[in-house]
Amino acid sequence: MSTSALDIIVLTGCPISPSTNTQYASFVRHGRMVRVLSKDFVAYRTQFSNWVLQNKEQILAAQETIRLWDKPLSVTMIVAFDSTRLVTKDGRMKANDATNRVKATHDLLAAALGIDDKIFVSCPVEKVTRNNDEPEQVVFIIRPHPLRKLSDIIYGDEGLCIAPR
């Protein structure tokens, strides 16, 4: 599912990629270490391709909107997990690193949108819990985003002023 307006694109229902820790398998061949894509990652690529096909209309609309924007992008990833994968029974956070899933997902998203991920200049990632009736998924929120200068962030209008001039 997707929402596309002049200033925002929202794509929902994307499958969650395996962690980078499990995206590759290594073995020794002829005395040399060889690294190949894992079965889990190959399966994920197929799931992602199926998601793109199921959401072709929204992907095409997103492609057109991004083409019209012709600007760098902010691509926020909201990664919705079952709460049992994120929080222990006594309320402590479990080891489930959403950022280990970003690069592969960005590569596949960029390919689906027909763009180069070099224009992704802001890439926040947030892990959230899902409702019981919702699948685990990634939600993308895509907006135009200017390439900024560090000095504008530190000293500029954003009010951060984390360092004196």
Give the whole-angstrom CA distance, residue 40 versus residue 23: 7
User: What CATH class is the domain 2-155?
Assistant: alpha beta
How high is the pLDDT of residue 4?
45
The mean pLDDT of 37-65, rounded to a whole number, is 94
Residues 104-124: tens digit of each pLDDT = 999 999 999 999 999 999 999
Instruction: Tell which wins on pLDDT, 85 or 55.
Output: 55
- Domain spans, the chain: 2-155
pLDDT in tens, 3-34: 445 799 999 999 999 877 777 778 888 998 88
Distance separating alpha carbons of residues 58 and 40, to the nearest angstrom: 26
What confidence score (pLDDT) does residue 13 get? 96
Q: What is the pLDDT of residues 85-98, one digit of tens each?
A: 888 899 888 887 77
Q: Report if pTM > 0.85.
A: no
